[in-house]
Amino acid sequence: MAYRERVAADGLNDHRPDMDIDQVWADYLGSEKTKRQTLKPHDVVFYESDSANRLYELVSGTIMLYKLLPDGRRQVVEVLNSGDLFGLQYGEYYDCTAEALTNAEIRVLNRRDIEVSLGLQQHVGRCLSAKMESMHDHAMLLGRKSAMERVASFIMRMIPDRGTLDCPGPAGERDEKEIELSMTRQEIADYLGLTIETVSRSISELKRRGLIKIEKQDCILITRVCGICQITGMH
């Protein structure tokens, strides 16, 4: 889930300082200091080992971060949604490549500007904490889940508010949801630590079991959300 949505969703108010972080953030973003940039699918924002001079906020669209091994093996390490920050490095160089999956809009931020404001630093800290939690989840997925569980977890990840601890269950009669993947099978495979064939087979198996329908390749109609949720390994 994107950072902004989560901020809105859960009640961490007792941790909030008196100042309104989001207002500080909004003020900064509204100032003259930020440039915007629009991206088309497969546009690269920065490459692994480029000098890490700037950081970015994803305004709209989807971006993936990936790393490569010398022999060409690829691991997609993050899939970002709007509100997420990226390109903030500890070291001197970017540790991964940032590539747009869809049309996207980003804001170019200045590390120095952010560093000197308490409100902005708080925002950054929150965003990074949220990312750490999803990296932990992803480590569990990559290290311990079967192919089927990985694909099911991936699908659940695209459905806001479902599969969480306080999942409200099916909204109405039908437990359906349509999602757009905006990733090719190869990209999904590289995100889930699988091969393209295994991803394809898992999706076909879900189709066979009547849990999903493929509308048009990167668009899936989930016919039984709870059914998918059951095979994520987490229930």
Partner DNA sequence: CGCGCCCTTGACCAGACTCAATATTAGTGG
Partner DNA sequence: CCACTAATATTGAGTCTGGTCAAGGGCGCG
User: Which residues contact residue 102 at a Cβ distance below 8 angstroms, ignoring those fewer than 6 apart?
Assistant: 41, 61, 62, 182
Please state the closest distance from residue 217 (CB atom) to DNA, in A.
5
Is the Cβ of residue 65 or residue 203 nearer to its own copies in the bound state? 65
Q: Which does 118 bind (CB under 5 to 8 A by kind): its own copies, DNA, none?
A: its own copies
Three-state DSSP state, 86:
strand
Q: Which of 200, 213, 223, 226 binds DNA (CB under 7 A)?
A: 200
DSSP for 158-223 reads: TSTTSSSTT----SSSS--EEEE--S-HHHHHHHHTS-HHHHHHHHHHHHHTTSEEESSSSEEEES
* Token reading at 82: 């709007």
Rounded Cα distance between 3 and 51, Å, is 26
- Check binding of 148 to DNA (CB under 7 A): yes
HEC string for 34-58: CEEEEECCCCEEECCCCECCEEEEE
Lay out the site mask for its own copies across 54-73 (x = CB under 8 A, - = otherwise).
-----------x-x-xxx-x
Applying the rule CB under 8 A, the residues between 144 and 183 that interact with its own copies are: 144-145
Rounded Cα distance between 210 and 223, Å, is 7
- Check binding of 214 to its own copies (CB under 8 A): no
Q: Which of 34, 102, 110, 117 binds its own copies (CB under 8 A)?
A: 117
Q: Which of 123, 138, 162, 185 binds DNA (CB under 7 A)?
A: 185
Amino acid at 104: A
Q: Which of 16, 74, 107, 201 binds DNA (CB under 7 A)?
A: 201
Applying the rule CB under 7 A, the residues between 216 and 235 that interact with DNA are: 216-218
Amino acid at 95: D
User: Which residues contact residue 88 at a Cβ distance below 8 angstroms, ignoring those fewer than 6 apart?
Assistant: 55, 111, 124, 128
- Check binding of 136 to its own copies (CB under 8 A): yes
Give how far Cα 57 sits from Cα of 3, 63, 110, 137, 197, Å: 11, 11, 11, 22, 34
Three-state DSSP state, 65:
strand
Q: Which does 186 bind (CB under 5 to 8 A by kind): its own copies, DNA, none?
A: DNA
- Check binding of 12 to its own copies (CB under 8 A): yes
Is the Cβ of residue 109 or residue 194 nearer to DNA in the bound state? 194
Residue numbers at the binding site for DNA (CB under 7 A)? 146-148, 184-186, 193-201, 203-204, 214, 216-218
Residue numbers at the binding site for its own copies (CB under 8 A)? 6, 10-12, 15, 17, 65, 67, 69-71, 73-75, 77-78, 88-92, 95-96, 111-112, 115-118, 121-122, 124-126, 128-133, 135-140, 142-145, 190, 192-193, 233-235
